[in-house]
Structure 1
């Protein structure tokens, strides 16, 4: 475990994420090209991608699925975490060479992050954490901001590093950010049902929750989904979020108030 990012060493953390796709092969190819993931299995309708150490993404194809509207509750982004800053630097060089469009880049004090969407509109974050010993906490809340990222400083790390080939074995999903209909209901669900702790707010529009002192494993916002109800079946987007827990919860699978399946695995 010592070679894993801090986010994956806490009592509860993210294991993997599932997506429903209209074109499973196109989406699988995108993530393999973007992150260097391997296709671990493929039965023709469900493809599991990951590193040699762990599955990270399950893509289930439903050609008849409707594209979920952006105001629907569901996935805001899946956040893929590199432990080493140099790996993020090498990855930035890779996406520049492949001309993959990045939509944003931010310095959050606790982390450095890049943002983009996959071909079916699912949000993606690719990031690395700063040393957790330098994070600032006040009354149990972590100080996170959004300011411009110094990309030149980051890219300088890759000048003498090996070129990008594939995802490192210790790549993990560090957190999942959700779109919800109501913040207090989301906070109640994740604290009371799952056992996470609230660690930050973004005004009254977003809440951030974690286990074991991480800056966040789950975030939930209403920036474009305020008032959204339960997500209907038969749409693309988020299928499930898998949590890994040291201690079994009362149920191994349940749904959040907006219909997202939460699966629990133990380690």
Structure 2
């Protein structure tokens, strides 16, 4: 029988080091095949602004923000990828501040003719897109935590149809003017080789709480009671890690107080750590800073 997910009533904490509730996610760094094309797409479709540029690297984020959400990097001979053909990035997820912002984004996508998938995850409402290189993107809004539910210690999440009409109505006919103030990187979702090794790296060693573990082929992890800062899945069976010439996620970023503790926990568990960057068992880099 579902129950309200009151603070502290759900999730399974790791037995050792535990990531702090103050955790937030920084920018994702992406390798793209055509920098100019990607910059235009991330501006025209996703609503991000160019914050800085240096040779073959462009940082994009909310207009006027101090930190980017996405860093685009072109490397010679990079080619687009077919979704699900490589381990690593399934999607990165940009969190909007509220439902009206999501409604304005839906209307914007319709105006520019961009195709998107849509789902209701019980804890959130989400849209899904692919950039010109086939890299996955989610744009979503969270439901209030007071509305989340649990079954036992497991948070309830699902993939249900989105109430698109309700989302659009929430926009109240206000125009989309780009990603609004308060937009942040909400979570990452990765293709992995298997869930037990993902659990070893991301929960037992890195310190995320397990939030949802009975979702078919997936594990969702978070810190501070959040539904998930990280999703992992085995929905790309037989896929290999990216080649150097594939468009791909080059790294994602975790920002916490005292990052040395998380890096030490990973190293002590036998995982590859170089400075502030660690590699998961399939070579996906995560950078941990303060």
TM-score normalized by the length of structure 1: 0.90
- Which residue number corresponds to residue 166 of structure 1? 178
Structure 2 CA distance for partners of 1:67 and 1:90, relative to 1, 3 Å? closer
- Which residue number corresponds to residue 242 of structure 1? 253
Are the aligned partners of 1:240 and 1:262 in contact in 2 as well (CA < 8 Å)?
Answer: yes
Structure 2 CA distance for partners of 1:234 and 1:154, relative to 1, 3 Å? same
State the Cα deviation string for residues 148-202 of structure 1 (Å, max 9, x = none): 1111111111234x31112112111101110111111111111133211110024
CA–CA separation in structure 2 for the residues paired with 1:87 and 1:164: 8
- Which residue number corresponds to residue 179 of structure 1? 191
CA–CA separation in structure 2 for the residues paired with 1:118 and 1:202: 30
Q: Aligned with 1:35: secondary structure?
A: coil
Instruction: Determine if the alignment matches structure 1 residue 87 to structure 2 residue 111.
Output: no
Map 1:1-267 → 2, pairs under 5 A: 10-51=21-62, 52-53=64-65, 54-69=67-82, 70-102=84-116, 104-160=117-173, 162-224=174-236, 226-248=237-259, 249-250=262-263, 252-266=276-290
CA–CA separation in structure 2 for the residues paired with 1:187 and 1:12: 19
- Structure 1 residue runs without a partner (length 5+): 1-8
CA–CA separation in structure 2 for the residues paired with 1:59 and 1:202: 34
Structure 1, 227-236 or 44-53: larger mean CA deviation = 227-236
Equivalenced residues, count? 255
Name the structure where strand makes up a greater proportion of residues.
1
CA–CA separation in structure 2 for the residues paired with 1:228 and 1:90: 36
Are the aligned partners of 1:13 and 1:211 in contact in 2 as well (CA < 8 Å)?
Answer: no
Structure 2 CA distance for partners of 1:68 and 1:93, relative to 1, 3 Å? closer
TM-score normalized by the length of structure 2: 0.83
- Residue 234 of structure 1, CA deviation: 2.9
Are the aligned partners of 1:21 and 1:63 in contact in 2 as well (CA < 8 Å)?
Answer: no
CA–CA separation in structure 1 for the residues paired with 2:230 and 2:85: 19
State the Cα deviation string for residues 75-127 of structure 1 (Å, max 9, x = none): 1011111111111111111111111111x111111000111111110011111
Structure 2 CA distance for partners of 1:97 and 1:228, relative to 1, 3 Å? closer
- Residue 44 of structure 1, CA deviation: 2.5
Q: Higher Cα Rg: structure 1 or 2?
A: 2
CA–CA separation in structure 2 for the residues paired with 1:74 and 1:21: 15
Structure 1, 163-172 or 227-236: larger mean CA deviation = 227-236
Structure 1, 105-114 or 131-140: larger mean CA deviation = 131-140
